[in-house]
Amino acid sequence: MKIEDAVTAVTSEASALTSCLGQPVVAYHVTEIMKEADLAHARQMQLALVRRSIEALVDDGLEGVAAEHFVSQFDGRIGLTWRLLHASDGVAH
């Protein structure tokens, strides 16, 4: 898996988030997370994106619980895709 494929996989079902934050912003942050080889640092970056995503969705009019549910799924896709990407690179974590 390439980073570009990983970003596409993560963002393909994130239309609500890409509409309020913007596709370039979401893609940039996900790309940076995917590039990060250190699991702990990648997770810190991911958590920052998750917090910002919930705030953006709520600011855009989504109810808090719905925003948290959506972002939880997004968070899961980021984590799974990061692990798949880095496992295919032969990086041990």
Within a domain: 93: no
How does residue 89 score in pLDDT terms, banded at 50, 70 and 90?
low
Residue 38: per-residue pLDDT: 95
Within a domain: 59: yes
Within a domain: 64: yes
Give the range of the structural domain holding residue 10, as residue numbers without chain letter: 3-88
Reported as a single tens digit per residue, the pLDDT across 44-78 is: 999 999 999 999 999 999 999 999 999 999 999 99
Within a domain: 65: yes
Total domains in the chain come to 1
Long-range contacts of 83-90 (CB under 8 A, 24+ apart): 84/1, 84/6, 85/1, 85/3, 85/6, 85/34, 86/37, 86/39, 88/1
How does residue 13 score in pLDDT terms, banded at 50, 70 and 90?
confident
The predicted model scores a pTM of: 0.89
